[in-house]
Each structure stands twice: as structure tokens, then as C-alpha cells.
Amino acid sequence: MPPSPPSPGSPASPASPAAAPAASAPDPQDRTGTDATGAVRAGLVLLLTAGATFVAFLDTTVVNVAFPDLARSFPGDGVSDLSWVVSSYAVLFAALLTPVGRLADAFGRRRVFLVALTTFTAASALCAAAPDLPWLVAARAAQGAAAAGMIPAALGLLLAATPPAGLAAAIGAWGAAGSLATAAGPALGGVLVDAFGWRSVFLINVPAGVLLIAAGLRGLPERNGTQRRLPDPLGTVAFAGGIALLVLGLTKGSDWGWTSAATLGTSIGGPALAAAALLRSSRHPAPAVETGLLRNRTFAVASAAAACTGAALFAWLLSSPLFLTSVWHYSVLKAGFAVTPGALTSAVAAVAVGRRARPHHLPWVVGSSMAAFALVSGWMFLQLGAQPRFLALWLPMGLVGGAAFGAALTALSTAAATSLPPHRFASGVGMTTTARQLGGALGVAATGAILAAHATGGPRAFRDVYLACALMAAAAAAIGPAMARTLAKES
């Protein structure tokens, strides 16, 4: 889900008097006034950008619920291949957030936002029409690239259109759109797939996208930033390619053999290529990744924790509906509603932490919430079996796990944002989202590899997935105290 903003009373909150001028758009004329006309325009910008954000993040949870139906439609493709329906979206989304954000500053946020939204809508139609898996994976990659353009352009438009006094509330509402998408996705996806099949979860984006495009053409003002340099194309391609190669090696390792030349080449070459791209970004005036932000220790630690949290979250979101349909033999509709309680507690916890937590609370929110998720994941590893135990096992796991993720992701995003100067807020949001999406892509790859390694499936395969979730969550929990130490040193 998109990050929640810093608490209004926090030192670096966009709503605080000291932060307000720096948090505004770089061009003074970009700021919408506080009169009635300006308030209406700011409200329209919020509505349109939040709507696009909702659509972009809805596809994550909706597709996870549709995964069992996808497996039936493409019986010749294994779990490791099908996982690319999720991974291709996550890899392109993560790799292109920073460079497309620079394109929005160079060519206009409204223009980039509308082009990205149009591309996302067209890619959704291509997903719905996919005759085979390669077509679907390619269309999902196009969706991910378009989503990477929608999010930074939407945030830039929102920051520019909102008066300083309303920034915290506006960004909070924008972030809540992603939480609502996470909560609505499983149930909505279950209903659609049960009634119309997996293609409907993509087809529903088309009328929503057309409506948003039409409204955006009429109601969105143009906003230009001060950035005029185009993003580094070589670094962008190298970073995306490196992550894709690593994910490919993890997902296909069980098919190729873990010691084969193909597995070793992709698993080693991918990280090496991504590292080279990061090194290039550290020296480039228009980098593919905002590595300069990592010089701030609190931000760097928070981003590392976000990557671990994203890995556990995406693995959990993908494996849960698969387990319910394949082992407990739930219908897709029933599975969708079975995972919804966790999404709802995630949204509630995110709002609560965003409103109530203060900067010095955030490391302990991360540590305690991810420790709680590590414990329930370990519990699932020990107790999960073929016999359905929804009330005694699944529901408590979902409620605790969902609340843990909502609290942790919000705390991490807030800590990352408040550790930076206010004028870097949007960059911080993008970089933290990049870290979370990269972790998520690796989590999906790990899930595919674990399930593929257990050819017969069954509870044992999914228990191993939950063990991996527990380990990744424990790593995120361990980073919490480190974030507290960096906050203490920098305060």
C-alpha cells in the first residue's frame, strides 16, 4: 500500500509551519491558492490521483486471489512460471519509480500522469485478452511500468495543488486509497473470479481508467518541477535487468537445477548488474535510483526494513489464496473473503499509526509488529495442515498478520520521510516504495521456488513458505532497534 504521511505534529511533517514552504512544489506559481476555487481544484486533484493510486495498488491483491484460476487456465505452466504474473509487475514498478518521476518533472506531471494512466488501462485490456502466459506476463510488465509513472506523477500533482495547511490530510487520504485497495482487493477479486473468471480482474480496470482519463483531461492542472535532466537510460535498464535476472534465477532454479550454469549465471549476474547500476546512480546527475538518499542512516535502515517487510508481505499475499484453494479446497470466492479480515486490520492499523505514532515510537512499532508477524508465521509453520481450521488458526493469523503489516509499513514510510528534509518527501516516498517492491519481487520469487521444489504440493510446501515469511519478518523486526539508534544519533 502507499505510505502514510508523517504525523501532523512531527518535526518534519508537511503540515508544520517550518516544513510547509519546502514541502510545496518547487515552482511558487504551482501552489493552488486557499480560496474557494483553489480548494475545489485541490479536492479534484486529490480525488483523481487517489483514484489512480487505488487502481494501481488494487491489482496486487486482486491478482493474488485470481492465481488459482490462472493455474487452471494455463495447466502446462508451473508455479514458478505463473509467479511471473506477479513478479513482472513488481520488478518494473520498483525499477522505474525514480526515473519516471524525473520524466514527470521534465515533461510535466499532468502529461506523464495521463500517459501512464492510459498505458495502464490499455495494458489491463491486453491482460484480459491474453491467449497464453507469455502474453500475460508481458502485459503485466507494461502495467507495472505504467504504475511506476502514475504514482510519482500523482504525488507531485497532489503536493503542488494542495495548500500547505492541508498537505498532511491530503497525503493521508492519498495513502488511504492504497490501504482501501488492499482491503477491497481480496473480496472484490473473489467475487469477480467466481462469477466471470480471472480475466475480469483486469477488465474492470478499463472503464475505471477511461473515467479517470476523461476527468483528468478536464480537471488536472499542468505542474512542472525544476528538474530538467532526463533520467539515466543505461542505469535504468541495468537496474531493472539485474533484478529481473535475480528473480528469474530464484524462480527457475528448481527447474534448471540449483547448480546449473543458467541458475548460477542469473543468480550471480543479476545482483552484479543491479549493483553496477546502483554504483552508476551514485555518480550520475540524473540517477536511475536515488542512492543519495541512503546517505541518511535512518532512511537507509528504514529502506532495508521495508525490503524485508515487502518480501514477507508479498509471499504471504501470494501463498494464502493458493493454500486455501489447493489444500483446503475453498472456492475462489470463499478464499477471497477468507483473506479479507487481514486486509481490513492492515488498513485500520495503518491509519492508527499514521495518526498517533510519533517519530520516537516508529522503530518500536516496526520491531514489535514484525516480531508479532514472525511469531504467527512460525505458528502456521508448526500447525498448518490439510484439515481446515479457519476460526482456530487462519482467522487469528490473518488478523494479527494484517495489523502487523499495516503498522510496520506505515511506520517505515513515516520514519523514512521524516528523516529527510521536507523538500525530499516525494523522493523518500518513491525510494521506500522501490525498496518494498524489490523485496516483494524477491518474496514472490522465493514463494515460487519453494512451491516448485515440492512437486506434490500439500501442506508441507506452504508450511515452508510460512517459515520463510517468519525469517524475513524476523529480519525486519531486528532492524527496528537499529533504526532507533540512528534516530537517536541524528536527533
The two most distant CA atoms of the chain are separated, in Å, by 66
Contacts of 288 (CB under 8 A, 6+ apart): 95, 98, 99, 231, 232, 235, 236, 238, 239, 277, 280, 281
3 state DSSP class of 163: coil
Return mean pLDDT, the chain. Answer: 80
Average pLDDT over residues 359-380: 89
Cα distances (Å, whole numbers) of residue 230 to 185, 240, 279: 35, 17, 18
Type of residue found at 353: V
Query: What pLDDT score was predicted for residue 53?
Result: 84
Q: pTM for this structure?
A: 0.79
Band of residue 105 on the pLDDT scale cut at 50, 70, 90: confident
Query: What pLDDT score was predicted for residue 467?
Result: 95
Cell numbers 509551519 correspond to what residue? 17
Contacts of 186 (CB under 8 A, 6+ apart): 61, 62, 64, 65, 321, 335, 336, 337, 339, 340, 343
Q: Count other Cβ atoms within 10 Å, centred on residue 81.
A: 18
The Cα 88–Cα 142 span in angstroms is 9
The Cα 336–Cα 412 span in angstroms is 28
Q: Count other Cβ atoms within 10 Å, centred on residue 164.
A: 18
Query: What pLDDT score was predicted for residue 258?
Result: 83
Cβ–Cβ < 8 Å for 90, 144: yes
The Cα 415–Cα 49 span in angstroms is 23
Query: What pLDDT score was predicted for residue 117?
Result: 95
The Cα 279–Cα 287 span in angstroms is 10
Cell numbers 493474488 correspond to what residue? 64
User: Is residue 89 predicted with pLDDT exceeding 50?
Assistant: yes
**% of the chain residues with pLDDT over 90:** 25
For the stretch 239-290, pLDDT in tens is: 888 888 888 888 788 778 888 998 899 989 999 998 999 899 888 888 888 8
Bigger pLDDT: 86 or 177?
86
Q: Which three cell numbers stand for residue 376?
A: 504467527
The Cα 258–Cα 252 span in angstroms is 9
Average pLDDT over residues 73-93: 84
Query: What pLDDT score was predicted for residue 26?
Result: 39
Query: What pLDDT score was predicted for residue 169?
Result: 66
The Cα 429–Cα 424 span in angstroms is 9
Query: What pLDDT score was predicted for residue 20?
Result: 29
The Cα 238–Cα 236 span in angstroms is 5
